[in-house]
Amino acid sequence: MAQRRKKVVAPPTTIRRLSIYFRVLGGLKALGETSTSSGDLANQTGFTAAQVRRDLTYFGSFGKRGVGYDVAQLRQHLASILRVNQDWRMALIGVGNLGRALLSYDGFKNHGYNVVEAFDIHPELVGKTINGLTIHHTRDIHTLFANEQIDMAIVAVPAENAQLVVDQVVDAGTRAVLNFSPAHIRVPDHVKLSNVDLTMEVEYLSHAIHSLKTIAQT
């Protein structure tokens, strides 16, 4: 112990912004742009130039002073930091409306995130094929996860079943869970959890609209 400690680890907020820079760089590349700058990235993302630069410094220095960043090169660096295009194998648990929408979500497949298994608890869905995937029963999660190495589980089941399902996928060795159910999920330290909470966003907005009125008097 008592090791020296520099500012080493990037905040979660930085990682999420990197994902956005990565996307913008993809756009620039598609347009044939070869060079960009922190100011340009700031413009296209709504963050500040200082923040763009600060975010990048957590991982290295990728630009040339006086010049800027090489689009392809910076994009490649971010791909490597974020680990995109690494043929991630994902399983979808819960093939309801939201689950089905996620199955065909372009943003996943196009970046190396492949849904390779689908599960549901409803007997009438089990055995059916959707987007080329046979739907399995959730009771078979453990067995099938063992065969196919699954890196990430997408959980889109009702709140009351969510913890149970997550326990199963964690038990089966999955190390990342993307949870869409409106429930507080507990996972052990070695598992990473990310929540997408649609109700929360809507309620945030309904609060925010209103408080504008209150603030808008200078």
Q: Which is nearer to a copy of itself, 10 or 72 (by Cβ)?
A: 10
Q: What's the closest the beta carbon of residue 127 comes to a copy of itself, in angstroms? A: 22
In the complex, the smallest distance separating the C-beta of residue 11 from DNA, rounded to whole angstroms, is 3
Q: How far apart are CA 211 and CA 172, in angstroms?
A: 45
C-alpha–C-alpha distance, residues 41 and 61, integer Å: 16
- Interface residue with DNA among 32, 46, 66, 123 (CB under 7 A) is 66
* Buried residues in 134-170 as b, exposed as e (16+ CB within 10 A): ebbebeebeebbeeeebbbbbbbbeeebbbebbebbb
CA 57-7-175 angle, 5° bins: 85
Residue 12 interacts with DNA (CB under 7 A): yes or no: yes
What is the DSSP track for 115-128?
EEEEEES-TTTTT-
**Binding residues with a copy of itself: total (CB under 8 A):** 62
> Which residues within the stretch 177-216 sit at the binding site for a copy of itself (CB under 8 A)?
177-178, 182, 184, 186, 190, 192, 194, 196-212, 215-216
Q: How many CB atoms lie within 10 A of CB 31?
A: 8
C-beta of 61 vs 199, nearer to DNA: 61
- Per CB under 7 A, does 22 bind DNA? no
> Least CB distance from residue 139 to DNA, whole Å?
37
Name the residues that contact a copy of itself, by CB under 8 A: 9, 12, 15-16, 18-20, 22-24, 44-46, 81-84, 86, 88, 96-98, 100-102, 104-105, 107-108, 111, 113, 151-152, 175-178, 182, 184, 186, 190, 192, 194, 196-212, 215-216
